[in-house]
Structure 1
């Protein structure tokens, strides 16, 4: 299950603190390992010292919560997090929203942009100023009838079973598709979840003229987590977020997890 080993990309900006709080909340629920990492560029001794100071601050914020703290040298923060995640066998990378974005929404910066197009692990992004609850309230999968999403239905259903929370499947109707077909596709996905795990998933078509309007059309619980599958254009075992999924991510008011292609 995602969350067996979580790595948090931490810095002293508000997004770093949001990611730390979310990563710690995930491991409290899953019982997984937590690694807090700060990335610094090569040939920068001063920034290496600053990275250590950042981790000391993270330790103060977490208090007695068990965690490993690492600094890592890399030419890019996203690249460094992905490389380090592979070395320590983390299965989830958590990062925060870029500075300067709207409160309660996800703003993509250079770090998250790299991860959303090349990471080998699942990537979770926290909205700005997000305060995680004690445990998730529901997992929602953004569903489109295609192989990667069908595989994600099984994986996310298994996760909800282990976490003891409901599963919801939503499909966006942006006034361009036959809603009857969308509902038929959703019904097949609900059946897939039932056949693989015995979970009876909720399903909903979210209507709107764009992704933001469609997401506003449905109810979101405090503690909701949204999951997106990788694009069919992704390389095997890599994250790659398509255009519509990127719009969904930017419009989401809850944390979003993106699964790599072929995630198991």
Structure 2
């Protein structure tokens, strides 16, 4: 199955292409690099479409794809397509469906901070509706010529679908030939009191919370995949602690080649991505690319 790359002018397209190339080296899958042209004809208004309207759009799309070809890292298999659709998200999802893509890779809004993920209008719609995994590249993301995914960090918060996300992340790591770990984040207000008793009590609360999280990982994972996976993931648990989501996420050690897996909201429609409020904060604070997992199919 191929990996669809949403390409456009500017850094958003370049960052998406860089991340998709890293993923392709790790999985062996080819890329389908796409530029979406929105047309009234695709929206069901053919009377407004003629050669004078379409020609400049087609020429622009061809120029953008030429730039993508020039930026494509060597050794990565890719094809290039212009997609006509009534909207960019719709065109990307239609292409992903038609090619039975394994994932969709997209860059961040150019209005966001460098090195972070910022959701523009296209990305925002995809992270609330896509039926396949979506990978988000931080603004300015660049990788070494031979870079691969080396470690998969699975975000876990103990929600009802936490076990499903943990298993999905572990299977992704296996596919990528990468290490796997579970990360969770403890966000708490700044300490108002200082001293031995208060400090010890605070740490005791965190220790008990970590123990409960490990037990929850084992229980939820074993319900899906009995065996040693639950124990292995629980032992890998890393906790980020801070007074905000950004502080807690940056409390965890990150490195080149890391990929953060984030699951959907508990209210997400079956087999769709729907980013909840906590997940959105994690995504916006993440210093590494993010892999969004669609909700499981409900029976």
Whether TM exceeds 0.5 here: the answer is yes
Q: Which moved more, 1:80-89 or 1:247-256?
A: 80-89
**C-alpha separation between the residues in 1 aligned to 2:230 and 2:273?**
28
State the match for 1:114 in structure 2. Answer: 125
**Cα offset for 1:47?**
1.6
2:287 paired residue number: 253
Unmatched 5+ stretches in structure 1: none
TM-score by length of 1: 0.91
Alpha-carbon contact 2:26-2:177 (below 8 Å) kept? no
Correspondent of 1:184 among 212, 224, 229: 212
Q: C-alpha separation between the residues in 1 aligned to 2:174 and 2:281? A: 28
Which moves more between the two structures, 254-263 or 236-245? 254-263
Comparing 231-240 with 168-177, which one deviates more in the overlay?
168-177
User: Which residue of the partner structure matches residue 139 of structure 1?
Assistant: 152
Residue in 2 that maps onto 1:157 = 170
Where do residues 162-241 of structure 1 align in structure 2 (5 Å cutoff)? 162-175=175-188, 179=206, 180-189=208-217, 192=221, 195=227, 197=229, 200-201=232-233, 202-241=236-275
Whether 1:14 aligns to 2:27 is no
Return the match for 2:100 from 86, 89, 99. 89
Contact kept? 1:139, 1:156, Cα under 8 Å: yes
Larger radius of gyration: 2
1:196 Cα offset (Å): 5.8
Alignment partners' CA distance in 2, 1:69 and 1:252: 30
1:26 equivalent in structure 2: 23
Per-residue CA deviation, residues 183-223 of structure 1 (Å, 9 max, x unaligned), is 32234425738826488331022111221111011111211
Q: Work out whether residues 21 and 73 of structure 2, in 8 Å CA contact, stay in contact via their aligned partners in 1.
A: no
TM superposition score normalised by structure 2: 0.81
Indicate the SS of the match to 1:11.
Answer: coil
Task: Give secondary structure in 1 for the equivalent of 2:157.
Answer: coil
Q: 1:47 aligns with which of 23, 48, 57?
A: 57
Q: Which runs of 4+ in 1 moved over 4 A?
A: 196-199
The equivalent of 2:47 in structure 1 is: none
1:154–1:196 contact (8 Å) kept in structure 2:
no
2:2 aligned to 5, 11, 17, which one? Answer: 5
CA RMSD for the aligned pairs? 2.3
2-structure distance, mates of 1:161, 1:199: 16
Q: State the alpha-carbon separation in 1 of the partners of residues 141 and 5 from structure 2.
A: 15
Do 1:15 and 1:98's aligned partners in 2 also have CA atoms closer than 8 Å? yes
Using the TM superposition, give the Cα deviation of residue 261 of structure 1 relative to its aligned residue in structure 2, in angstroms: 0.6
Shift in CA distance, 83/250, structure 1 to aligned 2, threshold 3 Å? same
Where 2:237 maps in the other structure, the secondary structure is strand
Counterpart Cα distance in 2 of 1:132 and 1:37: 21
8 Å Cα contact 1:169/1:186 also seen in 2: no
